[in-house]
A and B are shown apart, each in its own frame.
Chain A
Amino acid sequence: MTPGTRRRKFISSLFVVSCAASVLLALVPLTFVLFFVVSQGIQSLNVAFFTHMPAPVGEAGGGMANAIVGTLILVSLGGVFAVPIGILSGIYLSEYAGTRFASLVRFAADTLNGVPSIVIGVFVYGIAVLPFKQFSALAGGLALGIMMIPIIARTTEELLLLVPGTMREGALALGATHARAVFTVVVPSALPGIVTGIVLAVARIAGETAPLIFTSLNNGFFSTKLTRPIASLTVQVYTYAQSPYQDWHRQAWAGALVLVGIVLTCSLLARFATRRLENISSH
């Protein structure tokens, strides 16, 4: 081997090693974060955390019952806003994929997906809080909904495109209208995928804080009124984390653990469902 070859081989192995090292380097913060969230969170996580209201300063224990219910309400509201718009625009994107308007809609979806969540919050504050002079659960749900729309639209599009064209053509050949072919043949066979898209969107927005801090604000009491401020897990964790009290810090870690639990469960569900769907369509 000439010295040149030896040098080239050396550089090459160095490169391979540093690529492997960067994978390990990325896994360090991941394990670090998950380790702390689990080990710190588990200490304050008990039944009371899910059933009790927040305890006043200086009193240990208490829970986040109101914030957990609040997050469920906010995410459901987001879903109510986003699911119809997301699915139907996704259908448009896949059925009329080649049209110029579809490219525009796709561009809008990707743009919306890239808008920082805090900017969505500012926008919703302007249209749904300021006019009514009232922070509300509805405003928070609207902000989350706007973030869900592009995710649902794009996943619906991708998954409808996986349905074999022959199925659509079969329905059309039998004399079905385009709408009938789509709603009775194409959509049902892609339904698990569409549900997956929704779950994925939920996973993405359930952990959002920024669009909520000045739309749904926070609420120290148990509230289910849609026109009033409402507590959420994320804003509650934010409030607690910034406080100087040890008890509240412990509660924040427990809240973070619940959040990570929700988000990971949804992500895993979505992941398994997508893989199954891809397997089905490739056979």
Chain B
Amino acid sequence: MKRPENLAFRLGTGLFGLVLVLLVAAIGVELVRQSWLSIEKFGLSFWRTSTWDPVAGEFGALPFIWGTLYSSILALLIATPISLGIAVFISELCPNRLRPVLVFFTELLAAIPSIVYGLWGIFVLVPLVRSIETSFPPSLKALPFFSGPPFGLGMLSAALILAVMVVPFTSSVAREVLKAVPVAQREGAYALGATRFEAIAAALYYARTGIVGAVLLGFGRALGETMAVTMVIGNSPKVTLSLFAPQHTMAAVLANEFSEAADALYLSALVEIGLVLFIITLVVNSLSRLLIWGMARPMTQATA
């Protein structure tokens, strides 16, 4: 029997659910609306040119998208093996009593606010990176990765700090994914005489789609990370492979220039950067969720 009160309850709570859907749509619509001026004026050349000159009214966002992608990919290269190592150690290797303690500590990494990482970055990490950079052997400085003067502020510091911030997310999802691998699968490997490494490698292979999802989730986090990166990357729009060079990211240029953007075109160009950041993270996160859901249904957030 269908009661009208029950229908009212369903519609009433559903309405609040609708708010979430509308919010996501509103963000997309509003960003497009606010950036329309810039989209119309520059079209695709916005993403192909590198001149960022608010005074002359010329806007090219290539250095920002480059900086965002480069820093995030570097962060992933550092964070992925470490995150997987942590996930394997916690879920497969460590004694049961140690497990909650380690989970707590890795999640603590996710709880520390971005601004605190940034503060630490400016006063502790950057001087440290600078001294590493100055003591770099000159022969290696011929490589494009290590060219340029050592500032400390720059891509290397940003990538390191991003890696630290990404590890708790990737490792917690990787742990959930490993948990979803049937025990029989590992027992089978051991029964065939596999070593620990071989059994775990088989489990990792079994869980590969979920693992890729976990890595992508970390990628999504890194792309949108703002404060810590802004404070250590040097904020200089340049397209270069050099790890030592100060660079810029999409999120950082928004944090730095948004409240100062006086004219409409400047503001519109900044919003377009926000729009593209929104679209990229949306795609990366959706893809990652799809892959993870194929394996297990963990909470996609590191509960710290």
Are A91 and B13 in touch, CB under 8 angstroms?
yes
Given contacts A29-B109, A260-B113, 7 further A-B contacts (CB under 8 A): A12-B198, A23-B106, A25-B82, A116-B278, A209-B113, A214-B259, A274-B303
Which residue from B9, B30, B106 sits with its C-beta under 8 Å from A26?
A: B106
30 pairs, CB–CB < 8 Å, chain A vs chain B? A8-B197, A9-B195, A11-B195, A12-B197, A19-B86, A22-B86, A23-B86, A26-B82, A30-B105, A33-B120, A34-B112, A37-B116, A37-B119, A95-B10, A113-B300, A113-B301, A116-B226, A117-B224, A117-B226, A119-B274, A123-B27, A149-B19, A178-B3, A178-B10, A238-B231, A249-B123, A256-B116, A263-B111, A271-B104, A271-B304
**Which residues on A sit within 8 Å (CB–CB) of B171?**
26
Query: What residues make up the interface of A, taking CB atoms closer than 8 Å to B?
Result: 8-9, 11-12, 14-16, 18-23, 25-27, 29-30, 32-34, 36-37, 40, 84-85, 88-89, 91-93, 95-96, 101-102, 104-105, 107-123, 125-127, 130, 146, 149-151, 153-154, 158, 177-179, 182, 200, 203, 206-210, 213-214, 217, 234, 237-238, 241-242, 249, 252-253, 256, 259-260, 263-264, 267, 270-271, 274
Task: Specify which chain B residues have a CB less than 8 angstroms from the CB of A237 in the assembled complex.
Answer: 115-116, 119
User: What residues of chain B lie closer than 8 Å to A120, measured between beta carbons?
Assistant: 27
Known interface pairs A23-B85, A105-B20; A110-B300 also in contact (CB < 8 Å) = yes
In the complex, the answer to whether A123 meets B30 with C-beta atoms within 8 Å is yes
Q: Are B254 and A118 in contact (CB under 8 A)?
A: yes
How many Å from the CB of B250 to the closest CB on chain A? Answer: 9
- Are B23 and A118 touching (Cβ within 8 A)? no
In the complex the two chains form, is A15's CB within 8 Å of B278's CB? no
Contacts of A256 in B (CB 8 A): 115-116, 119-120
Q: What residues of chain B have their CB less than 8 Å away from a CB belonging to chain A?
A: 3, 5-6, 8-10, 12-14, 16-21, 23-24, 26-27, 30-31, 33-34, 81-86, 88-90, 93, 102, 104-109, 111-120, 122-124, 164, 167, 171, 195-198, 200, 220, 223-227, 231, 251, 254-255, 258-259, 270-271, 274, 277-278, 281-282, 285-286, 289, 299-301, 303-304
With both beta carbons as reference points, the residue of chain A lying nearest to B276 in the complex is identified as A119
Contacts of B115 in A (CB 8 A): 207, 209, 234, 237-238, 241, 256, 259
* B residues near A150, Cβ cutoff 8 Å: 20
B271, A122: Cβ atoms closer than 8 Å: yes
Prevailing SS type, chain B contact patch: helix
Chain B residues contacting A107 (CB-CB under 8 Å) are 286
Query: B119 contacts A84, CB within 8 Å?
Result: no
CA distance A178 to B223 in the complex (A): 43
Q: Which residues of A contact B200 (CB under 8 A)?
A: 15
Residue pair B220, A88 in contact (C-beta under 8 Å): no
Residue numbers in B under 8 Å from A238 (CB-CB): 115, 118, 227, 231
Q: How far is the CA of A111 from the CA of B19 in the complex (A)?
A: 13
With A92-B14, A111-B24, A114-B220 in contact, is A122–B31 under 8 Å at CB? yes
